[in-house]
Amino acid sequence: MAIRIIVTEPDDVLHKKAKEVTKITPNVQKLLTDMADTMYDADGVGLAAPQVGILKRLIVVDVGDDNGLIELINPEIIESNGEQLGTEGCLSIPGLNGQVRRALEVTVKGLDRNGEELTITGRDLLARAFQHEIDHLNGVLFTDIAERVYDRKLDEEGE
Protein backbone atom coordinates (compact mmCIF):
# COMPACT_ATOMS: atom_id res chain seq x y z
CA MET A 1 0.00 0.00 0.00
CA ALA A 2 1.50 3.29 -1.14
CA ILE A 3 -0.25 6.58 -0.58
CA ARG A 4 0.83 9.21 -3.08
CA ILE A 5 0.77 12.96 -2.61
CA ILE A 6 -2.27 14.53 -4.25
CA VAL A 7 -1.33 17.51 -6.41
CA THR A 8 -3.42 20.59 -5.70
CA GLU A 9 -4.46 23.65 -7.64
CA PRO A 10 -2.70 25.74 -9.02
CA ASP A 11 -0.11 23.08 -10.02
CA ASP A 12 0.46 23.16 -13.80
CA VAL A 13 0.18 19.37 -14.16
CA LEU A 14 -3.56 19.66 -13.47
CA HIS A 15 -4.00 21.79 -16.59
CA LYS A 16 -2.12 19.58 -19.05
CA LYS A 17 -3.42 16.80 -21.31
CA ALA A 18 -2.31 13.33 -20.19
CA LYS A 19 -0.56 10.98 -22.59
CA GLU A 20 -2.02 7.69 -23.79
CA VAL A 21 -0.64 4.54 -22.17
CA THR A 22 0.90 2.49 -24.99
CA LYS A 23 2.15 -0.45 -22.92
CA ILE A 24 0.78 -1.89 -19.70
CA THR A 25 3.80 -2.57 -17.52
CA PRO A 26 4.14 -3.61 -13.86
CA ASN A 27 4.81 0.09 -13.12
CA VAL A 28 1.45 1.06 -14.68
CA GLN A 29 -0.28 -1.64 -12.62
CA LYS A 30 1.47 -0.45 -9.44
CA LEU A 31 0.42 3.11 -10.21
CA LEU A 32 -3.23 1.99 -10.49
CA THR A 33 -2.94 0.25 -7.11
CA ASP A 34 -1.29 3.31 -5.53
CA MET A 35 -3.97 5.58 -7.01
CA ALA A 36 -6.74 3.42 -5.51
CA ASP A 37 -4.97 3.39 -2.11
CA THR A 38 -4.57 7.18 -2.31
CA MET A 39 -8.22 7.71 -3.30
CA TYR A 40 -9.49 5.56 -0.43
CA ASP A 41 -7.13 7.21 2.05
CA ALA A 42 -8.47 10.64 1.02
CA ASP A 43 -12.13 9.50 1.12
CA GLY A 44 -12.55 10.23 -2.58
CA VAL A 45 -14.72 8.50 -5.18
CA GLY A 46 -12.29 8.94 -8.08
CA LEU A 47 -8.71 9.85 -8.92
CA ALA A 48 -6.87 10.50 -12.17
CA ALA A 49 -3.12 10.03 -12.65
CA PRO A 50 -2.46 13.78 -13.17
CA GLN A 51 -3.75 14.28 -9.61
CA VAL A 52 -0.72 12.37 -8.36
CA GLY A 53 1.56 14.27 -10.74
CA ILE A 54 1.72 11.72 -13.57
CA LEU A 55 0.51 12.68 -17.05
CA LYS A 56 -0.82 9.27 -18.08
CA ARG A 57 -4.40 8.42 -19.08
CA LEU A 58 -5.33 6.37 -16.02
CA ILE A 59 -8.31 6.70 -13.67
CA VAL A 60 -9.70 4.85 -10.69
CA VAL A 61 -13.31 5.21 -9.54
CA ASP A 62 -15.30 3.70 -6.67
CA VAL A 63 -18.63 5.34 -5.85
CA GLY A 64 -19.56 2.66 -3.32
CA ASP A 65 -21.95 0.73 -5.58
CA ASP A 66 -21.93 -2.90 -6.76
CA ASN A 67 -19.21 -2.14 -9.33
CA GLY A 68 -16.61 -1.64 -6.60
CA LEU A 69 -13.24 -0.37 -7.74
CA ILE A 70 -13.06 0.45 -11.45
CA GLU A 71 -9.60 0.92 -12.97
CA LEU A 72 -9.43 2.26 -16.52
CA ILE A 73 -6.49 2.81 -18.82
CA ASN A 74 -7.03 5.23 -21.73
CA PRO A 75 -10.72 5.74 -20.89
CA GLU A 76 -13.00 7.51 -23.32
CA ILE A 77 -16.67 8.34 -23.26
CA ILE A 78 -18.33 6.66 -26.23
CA GLU A 79 -21.94 7.56 -25.46
CA SER A 80 -23.77 10.00 -23.22
CA ASN A 81 -27.44 10.65 -22.50
CA GLY A 82 -29.56 12.96 -20.42
CA GLU A 83 -28.49 15.73 -18.11
CA GLN A 84 -27.91 16.24 -14.40
CA LEU A 85 -26.89 19.26 -12.37
CA GLY A 86 -25.15 18.42 -9.13
CA THR A 87 -22.52 19.21 -6.57
CA GLU A 88 -18.91 18.26 -7.17
CA GLY A 89 -15.75 18.57 -5.17
CA CYS A 90 -12.21 17.50 -6.00
CA LEU A 91 -9.31 16.12 -4.01
CA SER A 92 -7.06 18.53 -5.95
CA ILE A 93 -9.17 21.57 -5.01
CA PRO A 94 -9.74 21.20 -1.27
CA GLY A 95 -12.39 23.37 0.31
CA LEU A 96 -14.36 24.19 -2.82
CA ASN A 97 -17.51 22.69 -4.30
CA GLY A 98 -19.34 23.58 -7.47
CA GLN A 99 -22.58 23.05 -9.31
CA VAL A 100 -21.67 21.20 -12.51
CA ARG A 101 -23.92 20.15 -15.38
CA ARG A 102 -23.05 16.68 -16.69
CA ALA A 103 -24.60 13.86 -18.70
CA LEU A 104 -26.92 11.68 -16.60
CA GLU A 105 -25.61 8.48 -18.16
CA VAL A 106 -22.33 7.70 -19.93
CA THR A 107 -20.77 4.65 -21.47
CA VAL A 108 -17.01 4.53 -21.04
CA LYS A 109 -14.55 2.30 -22.87
CA GLY A 110 -10.97 1.60 -21.81
CA LEU A 111 -8.59 -1.14 -20.82
CA ASP A 112 -8.36 -2.91 -17.47
CA ARG A 113 -5.04 -3.49 -15.69
CA ASN A 114 -4.46 -6.64 -17.79
CA GLY A 115 -5.06 -4.93 -21.14
CA GLU A 116 -8.54 -6.37 -21.62
CA GLU A 117 -11.11 -4.03 -23.16
CA LEU A 118 -13.73 -2.89 -20.68
CA THR A 119 -17.00 -1.06 -21.41
CA ILE A 120 -19.07 0.25 -18.51
CA THR A 121 -22.27 2.29 -18.45
CA GLY A 122 -22.79 4.48 -15.41
CA ARG A 123 -25.71 6.63 -14.27
CA ASP A 124 -26.00 9.40 -11.72
CA LEU A 125 -22.93 9.54 -9.42
CA LEU A 126 -20.94 6.94 -11.40
CA ALA A 127 -21.55 8.88 -14.64
CA ARG A 128 -20.52 12.11 -12.88
CA ALA A 129 -17.34 10.50 -11.51
CA PHE A 130 -16.35 9.12 -14.94
CA GLN A 131 -16.82 12.52 -16.56
CA HIS A 132 -14.97 14.34 -13.76
CA GLU A 133 -11.95 11.99 -13.89
CA ILE A 134 -11.77 11.92 -17.69
CA ASP A 135 -11.86 15.73 -17.63
CA HIS A 136 -8.72 15.57 -15.45
CA LEU A 137 -6.99 13.62 -18.23
CA ASN A 138 -7.71 16.54 -20.56
CA GLY A 139 -6.52 19.23 -18.15
CA VAL A 140 -10.06 20.34 -17.26
CA LEU A 141 -11.07 20.96 -13.64
CA PHE A 142 -14.63 21.16 -12.34
CA THR A 143 -14.01 24.83 -11.50
CA ASP A 144 -13.46 25.46 -15.24
CA ILE A 145 -16.98 24.29 -16.12
CA ALA A 146 -19.02 24.83 -12.95
CA GLU A 147 -22.07 27.07 -13.06
CA ARG A 148 -21.27 28.14 -9.51
CA VAL A 149 -18.22 27.57 -7.27
CA TYR A 150 -18.40 28.07 -3.52
CA ASP A 151 -16.56 27.46 -0.27
CA ARG A 152 -17.63 24.07 1.08
CA LYS A 153 -17.30 25.09 4.73
CA LEU A 154 -19.47 28.20 4.33
CA ASP A 155 -22.12 26.15 2.53
CA GLU A 156 -22.17 23.51 5.31
CA GLU A 157 -22.70 26.29 7.86
CA GLY A 158 -25.63 27.58 5.81
CA GLU A 159 -24.09 30.95 5.05
pLDDT tens string 56-67: 999 999 999 999
Mean pLDDT, range 44-73, rounded to an integer: 98
Mean pLDDT, range 7-33, rounded to an integer: 98
Candidates 80, 82, 72, 83; CA nearest to 136 is 72
CATH number of 12-156: 3.90.45.10
pLDDT of residue 59: 98
Helix (H) or strand (E) holding 155: helix 152-156
15 is in an annotated binding site: no
Tens digit of pLDDT for each residue in 74-124?
A: 999 999 999 999 999 999 999 999 999 999 999 999 999 999 999 999 999
Report residue 156's pLDDT band, with 50, 70 and 90 as the boundaries.
low
> What's the mean pLDDT when you consider all of the chain?
96
Q: Where are the domains of the chain?
A: 12-156
pLDDT of residue 152: 83
* Predicted TM-score (pTM) of this structure: 0.94
What are phi and psi for residue 61, nearest 5 degrees?
Answer: -140, 135
pLDDT of residue 118: 97
45 is in an annotated binding site: no
pLDDT of residue 159: 46
C-alpha span between 43 and 54 (Å, rounded): 20
136 is in an annotated binding site: yes
For residue 157, pLDDT over 60 is answered with no
Catalytic residues: 133
Mean pLDDT, range 125-141, rounded to an integer: 98
